[in-house]
Every structure is written in C-alpha cells, then in structure tokens.
Amino acid sequence: MGLQATPRVLDRVVDLRRACDGARLNGGRVAFVPTMGALHAGHLALVTEAKRRAPFVVVSIFVNPIQFGPREDFGAYPRDLGADLAALSPWGVDAVFAPPAEELYAQDESTRVRVGSLSDPLCGAVRPGHFEGVATVVAKLFAVVGECVAIFGRKDYQQWLVVRRMVRDLLWPVEVVGHPIVRESDGVAMSSRNRYLSAGERLRARALVQGLDAAVHAYDSGERRARRLESIARGPIERAASSIDYVEARDPETLAAIEGIIGPGGALLAIACRIGGTRLIDNVVLGEDPPPLSPR
Ligand code: AMP
C-alpha cells in the first residue's frame, strides 16, 4: 500500500452534497461510513469494505450531541481530528465530513426521527432518547450524502437494525450494510471507549467476550434455552463488571424477547455492562457467528 495524501476535509453541508452529487454524475457509486471519530481498526475495516463497494468513499466524523444522555460522556468523548485524518490517509478516502454542530443543528431545530419498537429494548431501555438521537443524525447525514451504500458495524447491532428500519420505512435510496465485529487479538471488541480503561480494567474487559464465547459453544453443543444461555454468558461478566445493564437473548431481526427455546432463526445475545466507569457493549448472533475466541 503506497502512502496517500490526507483526505479532503469538508465541514459544510453544501460542499459534501456537491461532492457526492459530482461523484454520482461521473457514474460512480458513493459509499458512506458514519463515525464519531477516535478511529481504530474497526472503523478502518468499515472503510475498506466501503472502498470495495464504491469508487467514492465518504467518512463522517461527528460526535452527535443529541445521542448522549445528560450524565453520559459527551464532553469527555475523545476528539482528535488530526489523528483521525492520519489514520485514514492510507485508505484512499475521498472526503471526510467533519461539520461543527451548528451545521447539522439549527438553533431552533425541533425535528426528531423515532424508529418504533426496535429502539425500545436493550440500549434503548437504558439510554432513553439514544436511538432517537442516532436516527435523527443519520437521517440528516443521509439527506446530505444522498444515494449511497452505508456501512455500519454490527458491534452496535441494535443501531444497525434501527438504521436499516428507518431507511426502509422512509424510502431512503441507501443500501445499509452490517459489517462483522472487529476484535483485538485477545477477542475484546474494538471500541473508542476502550481507551478509557486502565490496564487492570482492560484485562477485566475480556469477560464480555469470554461470556459470549462460552454461550456460543453451549449453543453449538445443542443448548437452546434462552435463560440458560444468558446465564452462561453472565458468569464471567458478573465476576468482572462493576454493573450490568443487560445480558439478553433476543430475536435477531425484531429484537423481540425470547420466552423459552430459541427457534431456527437463532438469537442475538447482547451484553452491556460497566467495567469501572466505562460502559462497554458486545454481542454475537447464536446460530450464525463463530465463537468469538476461536473463530471457525
Ligand atoms: P462510532 O464511532 O463508535 O460511532 O462507530 C462508527 C461505526 O463503526 C459504527 O457503525 C460502529 O458500529 C462501527 N464500529 C465501531 N467499533 C467497531 C468494531 N469493533 N467492529 C465493527 N464495527 C465497529
């Protein structure tokens, strides 16, 4: 891979719209990777997938204020545009959209996008308004980028489903792709928030993937009871986490609760917990994903 120039940075809606319209006029498809910056190899895998799917790749970097709750880490969220641009340089990104908040939110803005039912359980139950904030900003970004293929990570599985449903319901000309979770060498899911962890907490963070791995092995050995699989996953997490928001098996398409036995469609097994003060999430789809610690 040759060294390439720092990508072009746009901070105005009109400029990004013009750039994307221009790419399509030239016969190209546009691929779009929305992020909040603090880029790591997980984000870069999404960029690689974008590059594979379209000649013109846009990455947005925007820490979206309205998806954070009042006691969440909006102020502390890591921001380093210079480092992000350096990380993107080798990947042939055509434009980085890094707008100031005023560019996306007029002072008297009053519109929200709410995606029913999929936004309610799991993170939606613990972070009220979070998915409304996500859907609203993604709707704005799609309105600027226009027709495209958009790449999302399945680390934020519920977010991926919410965005997919919004696109379908609102008839956006967007193909939404869900990229598999990218993990560190010890299995921990990559996350911008991992940099909040102390060395000891980083070791404790392995409990999430250990719990998921144990549950996948149990599922692959024939266990189908949802409560039993949840409790297998909970074991290591209970020992390591400061608090647990949820460890839940749910329908992988609708996120409906699973009362007894997991059916032929498999199940999403999703975790959110705190290690020290840092909230981490992870998941697997039972019946689909390989064991995360020893991929098939
Ligand atoms: P964020 O910057 O955390 O909002 O993430 C931007 C996009 O990158 C989202 O679609 C995330 O799901 C995705 N992403 C973040 N971490 C990972 C990961 N470890 N593996 C795959 N996708 C990820």
User: 156 C-alpha vs ligand 1 centroid, how far in Å?
Assistant: 7
User: 165 C-alpha vs ligand 1 centroid, how far in Å?
Assistant: 18
Longest dimension (CA), the chain: 56
pTM over 0.75: yes
Q: Are 288 and 212 in contact (CB under 8 A)?
A: no
pLDDT digits (tens, 9 = 90+) for 97-140: 999 999 999 999 999 999 999 999 999 999 999 999 999 999 99
| Residue 155 pLDDT class (50, 70, 90 cuts) | very high
Residue nearest to atom 17 of ligand 1 (CA): 42
Residue nearest to atom 6 of ligand 1 (CA): 35
109 three-class SS: coil
Q: How many residues does the chain have?
A: 296
Q: Is it the case that residue 1 has pLDDT exceeding 80?
A: no
Sign of the CA dihedral with 25 first, then 151, 141, and 87 last: negative
Residue of 73, 156, 181, 278 with the most ligand 1 atoms within 8 Å of its CB, for mutation = 156
Q: Is it the case that residue 75 has pLDDT exceeding 70?
A: yes
Q: Is it the case that residue 213 has pLDDT exceeding 90?
A: yes
Q: What is the pLDDT of residue 27?
A: 83
pLDDT digits (tens, 9 = 90+) for 42-58: 999 999 999 999 999 99
| Residue 3 pLDDT class (50, 70, 90 cuts) | low
Q: What is the pLDDT of residue 228?
A: 98
Residue of 32, 39, 40, 43 with the most ligand 1 atoms within 8 Å of its CB, for mutation = 43
Eight-class DSSP state of 26: T
Roughly how many angstroms between the first and final C-alpha of the chain, as a whole number? 29
The residue with tokens 């064991």 is 291
130 is catalytic: no
User: 246 C-alpha vs ligand 1 centroid, how far in Å?
Assistant: 20
Question: 58: how many CB neighbours lie within 10 A of its CB?
Answer: 27
Q: Is it the case that residue 296 has pLDDT exceeding 70?
A: no
Q: Which of 40, 43, 130, 217 is catalytic?
A: 43
Q: Is it the case that residue 270 has pLDDT exceeding 90?
A: yes
Q: Is it the case that residue 282 has pLDDT exceeding 60?
A: yes
Which residues line ligand 1 at a C-beta cut-off of 6 Å? 35-36, 42-43, 46, 152-153, 155-156, 179, 181-182, 189-192
Phi-psi region of 129 (alpha: psi -120 to 50; beta: other; left: phi over 0): left
